Structure 1
Amino acid sequence: MRSTISAPEVRILLTDAASVESAGAAVRACAVSKGFAAERATRFQVVVEELIRECRMREVASTSPSDVSVEVSFDGSNLDVTVIDHRMPLSAAQSRQLPSRRLLALGFADHLHIGFTGATGNIARCRLTTASAVPDDALHVDMLEPDVPDAPDVEQIDLDVRLMTPADAEGLVQCVFRCYGYTYPNPSMYQAAAIRRMLESGSMFSVVAIDASGEVVGHVACTFERPDDVIPEAGKMIVDPRYRGHHLAERLSLTRKDVAADRGIPGMWSETVTNHPASQRLAIERGAAEVGLLIGVGPQSMAMTGLPNQESVRHSFLAVFTPTFTPTFTATSQLPAATLTVPRYAAEHVSTLADRLGIQRAIGTASQEPDLVRSRIHSYASALAGTVEIRVRAIGRDIAEQVVDALDQHLAMAPATVHLDLPATDPAAAWAVAQLERVGFAWCAWMPAFLAAGDAIRLQRVNDHPILLESIVCARAEGEQVRDFVIAQWTRVHRGRSATE
């Protein structure tokens, strides 16, 4: 079982007399010890020291402590530092002006969130991830390579497809090298220690193919982006060039699906490329169905060998969901029945998708104002990928105001796309969608069981970057229906039109 708690490994309490540099040096040492390159660790140290200085600039009340707390935790793939102070509450406008925002925009950290959280105080969280600036991890795309000579059938028979163990980490690094040289976009996959940490922490589980000589010749994984995630993202498919053409990718994927089912994981979420339908077909053959379209989420610099690429535009991805099931489980039993509240225009669309996946969903469309005054949201940004992710944990009447404040906090990095996940089981979900459309968010995807609370409605806000919608290719008519629905909603919101027009 994967751990759902990442307890701090280091806690530092800085008095007013303590040096900022001492805490920064401790964070840098932690980063280096976890396998991060010295240069990245040093840049991250600069961010932490700046956050502490910003704390000390705020006014101290006579009844409140002036100390600054620094906590460091590591979950196998993410090094998180939390800086807490109990000084003058930080306003959203003040947060937007902090110098640390510029450091995020320059890539000194991978994620940064700063805000006032009531009695808990002012909290700043920054993150360094082993998969920064990585299209494969950031976008969870299975990358396809051109065909190469295959291994003889006799060698294929001897392959052992099984769950990966930490002892296989060095063999996986060699497999990545044989497949991609040093061009694979995820640097953590060249670090055996980083791979072992992800496996041991439970943030990733993998399936490997081992040949008769003991070499790793294939790999697929499921990765949990956050410790409390219910649905992992499927990706990191790597097949030794000698073994392509023998359906090894299918064998690896089916075994991964069985492992997920045995662990009680109800499904897997992944994003398939739309400049070529091959990865979509592979997912569909494994039982996946199209549930959304992520417009312009791929960086302009992303290019996949052997596939058509459009320069100077951001790529779009077709989101798919794969229910897991074994002879003793069915998709319906793993995904219990639920009642969702969605906008009226999306009711038939979501009902069709649920039927296609065999998931029982009752659909309501009432626009009910929430009882809560204040929403609970969490946001983080990847400066190098150019994206901002927002999760709404509780819907309050200030939802649009809070989301705009969150966007303003990341203004310096000029994000190309913003994704926002709403709990679809909240009776106020349809009301919240209408409020968020007014600030530029449009329907993106329905995500079954994605949140701890259940299904999610993902909205997207696409900023002013080149996007080529005409080149989006779908493998089947069902995907085209999803594509056309999402593009229609995005176009409507982009033009400032209401859903009733």
Structure 2
Amino acid sequence: MTPDFRTDITLPADARILQLVHDYGYNLAVLADFPQHQAELLAQALWEACENSIQHAYDDEPGIITVVGELTPNALILAVHDQGLPFDETLEPKLHPIDTDACRHLSQHTLGLSLIHRCVDEVHWINHGPQGKELRLTKYRSECCRLQPQTAAPHGPPHEPPVAQSPQDYTIRFVDPEDALRVAQLMYRVYGYTYPRVNIYYPDRLAHNIKCGIHVGVVAVTADGEIVGHVGLIRPELGSLAELEQLAIAPSHRGQGLFKRMDKLLQGEIQRMELVGLYAEAVTVHTISQEGSENKGLHAAGIELLHLGVHFKKLEIIQHNLGYRDTKPGPVFQGETALVFYFDYLSPPKTTRLYAPDRHRQILTDIYRNLGVPVEFLKPEPAAGNGRLSVQYRKNYGVGLIQVDRIGSDTFPKIEQACRDLCDLAESVAVFLDLPLSQGGTPDLCEAAETIGFFFSGVRPGFASDGDFLRLQYLNATLDPDRIHLISPFARKLLDYILRDKTRVEQNR
């Protein structure tokens, strides 16, 4: 596999350089071992991104663009930088000479941005303020670990009971990059493809994250080298927060005390890292992962009504694999499911001071009380100057995220445009909006966002650079509340509030 490297070219913002940009992207994709047809699609996506910058950044004045190519063990990243007009997410839908069979099914109206989204795995718009803006495209190099589910005999039960293991010795140790494939296989056999963090199913990505310290895990290994247990956490950007992964123990190795032994080693590592908080996301098509989060001392702090779009294994098989009994056969589930966001402070603040809309203050008080933190609400202040936000489309989940890092007088129009693009062009089923609760302009910006359909979702403590995020949500698909199954009384209370707020926003539009 080609080692890591980074290269960039700086070019005039002139349409005559587009063929050079295309060839640059194509050759990088070939170097990353993508097949020829995928390399062509990636080159076309880079062409589209650069042409957008050329057409919209400089108002026909001279300018430059910088194209960056970065190759890592798990991804090819292509980025286009310019220092022209502040943040314009709109990509013009144009047809260009380069064509492949994979591009022909796209309509003329949606070809521009839609082509980019369909050709790469992640699209990030990043506003660097006075340093300009960036459109970053990511294409992963590895394929998902696709294990075939075990099928039942024609006249037998949908699963076989686990064979009880006699007591044996297990090695409890930290996970190594070489363990990635076996961990992915274990997670599939226990959870199917229901686990929200899909990188766990990509061995190359998982190995890279283990090597970098982003993934910290503990495994239980038998004498013959089989990995039969795993518990771990993810540290995005190696920050002060970490996401707890769900426990996975092979059904035939339960009852051996593996969780306590693995968790003891992991807890020692958590203390060493001096983390501020732990969080987890649990699906709601079943309550198994919610129970795991509750048992670890985490508390519900938000619900995203439409997030994960995936095809699940039969639920009775998953429940059986996790040790549940007396389960009834059920249909294979396909579609979007809600996620519950769980959080726990390891070093709770004495008081959290928030700028929040009046109507949401009571539910915010309840959420923070549940987290063991008192709240003080501050008087709103008008926003001024230029804002800063980033926009992401998460292809694996089919959702968009708009993150506001600094609120300015120009922020709401950018949110409105980004939401429109994510829904109309990227076809996101939902868009999430994060507003910084430590900034005085959040109450007014929340009110403005509600006029275009955003409603309450919850809070994300510690996720903002200056504190906590208020998360709102916008649905671009039909919601079926009967698919949402919750285990805790507080989560049900939170869901009731969210559904009422959704109705209020819809009635006021």
TM-score category by the smaller chain?
A: 0.7 to 0.9
1:209 aligns with 2:223: no
1:289 aligns with 2:299: yes
Asked if structure 2 preserves the Cα contact closer than 8 Å seen for 1:440 and 1:494, the reply is yes
AA of the residue aligned to 2:471: R
Asked if structure 1 preserves the Cα contact closer than 8 Å seen for 2:122 and 2:393, the reply is yes
Show the counterpart of 2:175: 164
Asked if structure 1 preserves the Cα contact closer than 8 Å seen for 2:89 and 2:418, the reply is no
| Alignment match of 1:10 (pick from 7, 24, 36) | 7
CA distance in 2, matches of 1:39, 1:180: 33
CA distance in 1, matches of 2:434, 2:89: 24
CA distance in 2, matches of 1:311, 1:215: 30
CA distance in 2, matches of 1:76, 1:321: 31
The structure showing larger relative contact order (alpha-carbon pairs under 8 Å, at least 6 residues apart) is: 1
| Alignment match of 1:321 (pick from 343, 355, 358) | 343
Asked if structure 2 preserves the Cα contact closer than 8 Å seen for 1:425 and 1:453, the reply is yes
Show the counterpart of 1:83: 80
1:425 aligns with 2:472: no
CA distance in 2, matches of 1:116, 1:174: 39
Structure 2, unmatched stretches of 5+, are: 95-110, 146-157, 319-329
CA distance in 2, matches of 1:407, 1:368: 25
1:260 aligns with 2:258: no
Higher mean C-alpha displacement, 257-266 vs 239-248: 239-248
Show the counterpart of 1:327: none
1:37/1:392 Cα in 2 relative to 1: closer, same or farther (>3 Å)?
Answer: farther
Q: Give the count of matched residue pairs.
A: 462
Show the counterpart of 1:19: 20
CA apart distance, 1:250: 6.1
CA distance in 2, matches of 1:346, 1:185: 28
CA distance in 1, matches of 2:486, 2:440: 33
What secondary structure, in the 3-state scheme, does the structure 2 residue paired with 1:299 have? Answer: strand
Show the counterpart of 1:47: 45
CA apart distance, 1:299: 1.7
Asked if structure 2 preserves the Cα contact closer than 8 Å seen for 1:131 and 1:188, the reply is no
1:490/1:322 Cα in 2 relative to 1: closer, same or farther (>3 Å)?
Answer: same
Q: Return the TM-score normalized by structure 2.
A: 0.77
1:476/1:63 Cα in 2 relative to 1: closer, same or farther (>3 Å)?
Answer: closer
1:459/1:248 Cα in 2 relative to 1: closer, same or farther (>3 Å)?
Answer: farther
1:111/1:438 Cα in 2 relative to 1: closer, same or farther (>3 Å)?
Answer: same
Asked if structure 1 preserves the Cα contact closer than 8 Å seen for 2:126 and 2:135, the reply is yes
Show the counterpart of 1:412: 425
1:151/1:375 Cα in 2 relative to 1: closer, same or farther (>3 Å)?
Answer: farther
| Alignment match of 1:364 (pick from 363, 377, 396) | 377
CA distance in 2, matches of 1:302, 1:97: 35
1:182/1:480 Cα in 2 relative to 1: closer, same or farther (>3 Å)?
Answer: closer
Q: How does 1:79-118 map onto structure 2 within 5 Å?
A: 79-85=76-82, 89=85, 92=88, 95=91, 97=93, 99-105=111-117, 107-113=118-124
Structure 1, unmatched stretches of 5+, are: 1-6, 135-144, 325-330
Q: How does 1:266-345 map onto structure 2 within 5 Å?
A: 266-299=276-309, 301-302=311-312, 305-306=315-316, 314-324=336-346, 331-332=347-348, 335=349, 337-345=351-359
Show the counterpart of 1:137: none
CA distance in 2, matches of 1:133, 1:413: 22
CA distance in 2, matches of 1:131, 1:43: 17
Show the counterpart of 2:385: 373
1:355/1:55 Cα in 2 relative to 1: closer, same or farther (>3 Å)?
Answer: closer
1:357/1:188 Cα in 2 relative to 1: closer, same or farther (>3 Å)?
Answer: closer
CA distance in 1, matches of 2:76, 2:197: 16
Query: Alignment identity in percent?
Result: 21
Q: Pairwise CA RMSD of aligned residues?
A: 3.8
1:253/1:177 Cα in 2 relative to 1: closer, same or farther (>3 Å)?
Answer: same
CA apart distance, 1:14: 4.5
CA apart distance, 1:54: 4.2
CA distance in 2, matches of 1:450, 1:21: 37
Q: Return the TM-score normalized by structure 1.
A: 0.79
